[in-house]
Structure 1
């Protein structure tokens, strides 16, 4: 079953890459065109001798500390600026007027953002109550873990930890939920895991924010923890970065925060730290 899932992920990644390659330049804004061009030529190894030079070769706490220092050098966005950023970072490769919703996988008009039924809003993958950071500039506005999602689906996820199991729900796209956990659809399980691991490295108790950590529990409530570590590690392995996730990382680096999610570039660093 694992082998089948991995082959399916690779097939999705290849298909997405083909669609991205076919995007017509006139349909993109100047910012989007620049970011997409950069993605086409950049690879993770391009940054090993520059951006990641102080982290390469390290493991464990040393690697985590080095990556924290590297990715903490970032431009911070206001919460209102996140709307426009997500319109670019999560643009539908097949329709430049739409964004892809994280958990449901639906494509929805960029203009339908807000708080009403049928709108999309800003999902905090690391639930903001897990660390009490709200939407103030900092972890609450870090677009490495903020994604577009249907208003109702966002409410279904709430602040639940991540784990396998549960029941499906309307517009869930294959995502599942139960009383204390949420399982995203297969195609973005690795994306979710890598966003969580990014947050645990980026926010270490400095900058006036809580020390965010991944643990082995669910139902963490308002504590600055999110689980379930073993499941998130498995999702990182089963669903490697695809073209959409890699492009997103590049756009954030080139055009917005100017920092990277190291686990998109080097998913093997998850095991090296945890």
Structure 2
């Protein structure tokens, strides 16, 4: 099991070239009552859990295990996900990095509407500061680019807050190489958070570009590998060879993919959390990496 005491420098990335984080983080999105009815069905991420006790236990256990990067967003449960993190962990450990995202409206449980008006982005940062009970947000990522406003204006709003000391690092989500480079002409970009996992590799070129640029690549849905987890698959075979879970193999593949990849698996289970954080200790040999790297969903 990976703990703060057993982590090594190989497990660490310098976010923005200065902020050290262990590479397996935690995505807090799932710590919600997804449908508002207690079923956890769907992905509406609309309300905080009616009874937050289990979510608090998961967050506190994550920190105990040495997790240093927590990912949330103002759009998760209309800000209640941020407030939950504060309730569980404030005052924060000095080495904890909380990443949040701004730039999405949630007018209903099924709607995610990008809004990049600079004034709105500034307002959401201010609300994030309140909900997370801090004077500076460690990492603020633009949740989605809004085509209604120039990219430079959207990123510029976050750059202005960075200059004011309210934001330490600026990041992006679901962008292209060209959009990343346009943003970097406005302000330093510390991270990019795009959809990527063993079964979803459309952002290979961006991942490699981020490596060259020293930008962290944070793959969301790192465990959503679908049919690749089926019995008899390469993932299943490698897991059996190593005495590991298929989720651990999927995470380990991401960690082996490049040193700037920071997966943020989410879960509502302490047991699964412990399994996920232990993936950092799973060594894949060249043959296993080759089999995993060339397999594709049928």
Normalised TM-score (structure 2) = 0.27
Find the structure with the greater CA-based Rg.
2
Asked which structure has the greater RCO (Cα within 8 Å, sep 6+), the reply is 1
Give the TM-score normalised by the residue count of structure 1.
Answer: 0.29
